[in-house]
Structure 1
Amino acid sequence: MKNKLKVLRAEHSYTQEDLAEFIGVSRQTINAIEKGKFDPSLPTAFRISRIFKLPIEAIFTFEET
């Protein structure tokens, strides 16, 4: 799954640690999501979408392999 998390964080001047704290996960989890090594759970994706006030589809894009 591709995502725009890193770009959105930069636009809002959030560090990985900031975003992790806002949504209740570790910084390592944010790093893994950004690098595409880990897909967030649905509740985590919803929390991220609320932080950035965007629909989930605007942040995450599913790509079939």
Structure 2
Amino acid sequence: MVEITIRNRVKLVRIEQGKYNQGELAKLIGLTRQTMNLIEAQNYNPSIKVCLLISKYLEAPVDHLFWMEE
């Protein structure tokens, strides 16, 4: 079985936009700030639903925010 790692640039895009702090974005999506921190630190793979919501609120394509590495 191939090992796949999910990477993201959520923190980078969020900070570049300056629209939300970590807690605000987490609250909009229905997560805790701690879970959002884990996602941004590459220590938690979010569900597809969470990826789509992050994409919606950051107004960025999912494939710009998340990608796979083998």
Q: TM-score, normalised by structure 1?
A: 0.89
Highest RCO, 1 vs 2 (Cα 8 Å, sep ≥ 6): 2
- Are positions 1:43 and 2:52 aligned together? no
Q: Give the one of 39, 44, 54 matched to 2:60.
A: 54
State the structure with more CA Rg.
2
1:3 maps to which residue? 8
1:14-62 deviations in Å (ceiling 9; x for gaps) = 2110110111101011100011110110100000011112221010011
Gaps in structure 2 of 5+ consecutive residues: 1-5
Would you tell me which structure has more strand in proportion to its own residues? Answer: 2
Gaps in structure 1 of 5+ consecutive residues: none
Count of residues paired in the alignment: 64
Give the aligned CA root-mean-square deviation in angstroms.
0.9
Letter in 2 for 1:5: V
Q: TM-score, normalised by structure 2?
A: 0.84
